[in-house]
A and B are shown apart, each in its own frame.
Chain A
């Protein structure tokens, strides 16, 4: 291995992974190719489309704009970690299905992770707030309308569950 490598210890979806990575390896590539978590999609590699969004220490970030080495010591949630268990979807995922909020589905993991943190912070959003929060995630199939509806539905259902 080249001398240009870093030992990283990163917690992804609750599991601690230890790997040695080249300094130039993108976090998105690390997640997909080293950890085989291919749910994180890559659409542009310059931070515009939002498909690669993951939750990094509670904040939605674009994994194509970070190096894997920067994740050392941090906790990441990818779309694989969104559902509570293999038999149930997260309310956002359920609402996306109910509202036909995805067509090809390629942007969907990024949309879900962005909206997850958005709803954590904004449990009762209006449509304008959702569109603003969603505006960093490009979707070429849906025209966004059914995604917006899905987020509103998920917010409603999540509020219903809260004490």
Chain B
């Protein structure tokens, strides 16, 4: 096996003058060095993964990433050349032997100056670095503003960071020349798309490519991105050299080579009635899309749509400009832009509540979409290309439960005054959100009873720790009357299941879960039909359970599922027309649109006013994701989401200088929360089933991470008494340093 190491650009923006790899090629132990020129006709920009939704007037300038940089480099870390050697150690040694000469160009870093005509251009033909420009509106904001009793306007900065799974990306490609077959083990969240795309790029048929995404060590979004340069170069090199090739991303590379989320600047205003009802919102924002935009508009569309939250916003006017910068590529990371929007509306409501002297929880309650208003159409287009319609919801009980659990009134009326009298800086926060989950297009599942009585379930999605093996087994077990431990689930192997989209957008349980349910239902019918023939009785006289079918009321008269599976595939006799062999079914499920989950987070925090370090004293999550398949797995998803939300709110920030250099590309400097920063959480659920799928499920994967930023801002303002100082926390991430700067700035 050969090991790959990539030479990456050390400058954010430059024209490539020359790449001389002769010395590297001569390095002992090096087998080959390739640059863009070696890729020949295989060199091509990657596909546009998600085209822009059909929004009238939308501008979209497509520039997708390239496998190896050719004329220009556009971000620090962009791959320029690959070394293939007998060990990774040698491959990395040889990187130093490659002479990369370039003419530096001004780096496009700051969003507001990037859109000026005079700015340097990330892509030469794109004036003002406009990757996209989209306006969506509902009602008439200007008219609403005209009759408003109060209008508040603020600027908000929201920066999201790096998903930082503990396992970085990695892959092994093996070309079997005798079989004309490529096998690729890859840490991808979307194995089927990867197979199809690789086949197209490498001139193979899809049948000649097998992608296996084994137990992937975390993903959180960025492992969806297709095609990372390495995902093209590594299999290409394996075919070219006739040797297996392995590449494992190291942590330093991960900070550049794996996609980020990152920043938006919002200028937002809210018009309100005298009693604090939202009449309308206008928002204009800039979105940093990095050097390329393979994921289309997904992240800023999510921001635009999710800003509306669980509230009635009769008039909405939202415009965003996505901006190319000389920074790593931005694609969805857990929340996928929803955080940014939720921060804006939650902060606006906090400002409004203060101005109107209304309680923070009360102003939210007054604006909730009423329980009888569902399905509720927000009249703008969502990331799944359908109208943003909330399928179902009931928000007041979520808020009530959260307020009770956190002890909201008790804290504000008694506890906080008591602690403040002792000089302690304690504050409370409450934040609401909705999350569009479970989008299409579809997923499928093959459910099969094996001759040993076990049930096999195969799906096309990938798994990065979401508990798919357990959840899908439960669904199949419920239908087929077997123990969960007797269901084997396979995910992420394109030879086991051919079709599918992938694990993203909080959709695995919703879309694949329902596909498993549908396939298991068909298998159940086949089992009962065959058993009825076997016993020469009516299906209604049969009972399925404990791995067998038995005749009701006749003790001992039973046949196991394994025996039936054997009967369904006989050695002799004829299979009647219209029947299929085996106890097997493959079914697909595609929801018409996404299911809308919702939740409320509440927190009590204490801040040290000298050091601005904080301690979360209590953290409560109340969440409604419809039918719960497995409470333990669901809690785990929420815990992990909140932990990432806390990192985003107070610890993690990708710091770039004005040359586009990332200054804190190590886990010593980019601070992932540890067990000391993440508090114990109390979690409760309400259940409003989704009408969009038979199991009534809504997604839950991203929910924990979404409202934590505004929750921190609100609770910290409260704890530090910032309203009295006329200081607002209108940016995320915060940090001790940032709190110090904001509270001591000259006024």
Contact = CB atoms under 8 A, between A and B. Distances in A.
Interface of A: 22, 24-25, 41, 43-46, 48-49, 51, 100, 102-107, 127, 130-132, 134-148
Interface in B144-201: 163-168
16 contacts: A44-B666, A46-B666, A48-B666, A49-B667, A104-B465, A127-B680, A131-B676, A134-B675, A138-B166, A140-B164, A140-B165, A140-B220, A142-B636, A142-B640, A143-B638, A147-B675
Contact of B465 (A25, A141, A146): A141
A145 B681 contact: yes
Given A46-B666, A142-B639, A142-B640, A105 B675 contact: no
Given A41-B166, A103-B218, 15 more contacts: A43-B168, A45-B250, A48-B668, A100-B633, A104-B465, A106-B167, A136-B674, A141-B640, A142-B639, A142-B643, A143-B636, A144-B674, A145-B639, A146-B639, A148-B680
A139 B666 contact: no
Given A142-B640, A143-B639, A144-B643, A25 B89 contact: yes
In the A-B complex, list the 4 residue pairs whose CB atoms are closest, starting with the nearest: A104-B465, A106-B217, A143-B639, A103-B465
A7 to B, nearest CB: 19
Contacts of B217: 41, 104-106
B676 A132 contact: yes
Given A44-B667, A100-B636, A143-B639, A49 B166 contact: yes
B678 interface: yes
A41 B167 contact: yes
B678 A103 contact: no
In the complex, which of the residues A48, A130, A134, A137 has the most CB atoms of chain B within 10 Å of its own CB atom? Answer: A48
B672 interface: yes
Contacts of B633: 100
B405 to A, nearest CB: 16
Interface in B659-702: 666-668, 672, 674-676, 678, 680-681
Contacts of B640: 103, 140-143
A15 to B, nearest CB: 24
Contacts of A105: 215, 217, 465
A140 B672 contact: yes
B302 interface: no
A53 to B, nearest CB: 12
B701 to A, nearest CB: 11
Nearest to B639: A143
A111 to B, nearest CB: 10
Q: Taking chain A's interface residues, is the majority helix, strand, or loop, or is none over half, making it mixed?
A: loop
B466 interface: yes
In the complex, which of the residues A49, A142, A145, A148 has the most CB atoms of chain B within 10 Å of its own CB atom? Answer: A145
B365 to A, nearest CB: 28
Interface of B: 89, 163-168, 215-218, 220, 250-251, 464-467, 632-633, 635-636, 638-644, 666-668, 672, 674-676, 678, 680-681, 704
Nearest to A46: B666
Nearest to B704: A143
Contacts of A45: 250-251
Nearest to B28: A2
B636 A106 contact: no
Given A106-B218, A132-B676, A145-B681, A140 B251 contact: no
A78 B465 CA distance: 22
Nearest to B681: A145
In the complex, which of the residues A100, A103, A147 has the most CB atoms of chain B within 10 Å of its own CB atom? Answer: A103
B251 A51 contact: no
Contact of B676 (A102, A103, A135): A135
Given A46-B666, A46-B668, A48-B666, A138 B674 contact: yes
A141 B676 contact: no
B678 A143 contact: yes
Contacts of A141: 218, 465, 636, 640
B465 A144 contact: no
Contacts of B678: 143-145
A44 B668 CA distance: 10
Contacts of A143: 636, 638-643, 678, 681, 704
A137 B644 CA distance: 15
Nearest to A144: B675
Nearest to B88: A29
A24 B89 contact: yes
B672 A43 contact: no
Given A48-B666, A100-B636, A143-B639, A106 B676 contact: no
Contacts of B680: 127, 145, 148
A154 to B, nearest CB: 15
In the complex, which of the residues B166, B641, B642 has the most CB atoms of chain A within 10 Å of its own CB atom? Answer: B166
Contact of B667 (A48, A145, A147): A48
In the complex, which of the residues A25, A41, A140 has the most CB atoms of chain B within 10 Å of its own CB atom? Answer: A140
B166 A139 contact: yes
A115 to B, nearest CB: 11
Nearest to B168: A43
A106 B675 contact: no
Contacts of B166: 41, 43, 49, 51, 104, 106-107, 138-140
Contact of B674 (A22, A106, A135): A135
Contact of B464 (A46, A102, A104, A139): A104
Contact of A138 (B250, B465, B467, B667): B667
A45 B255 CA distance: 14
A138 B672 contact: yes
Contacts of B642: 143
Contact of A140 (B467, B635, B638, B644): B644
A77 to B, nearest CB: 21
Contacts of B639: 142-146
Given A104-B465, A131-B676, A135-B676, A140 B218 contact: yes
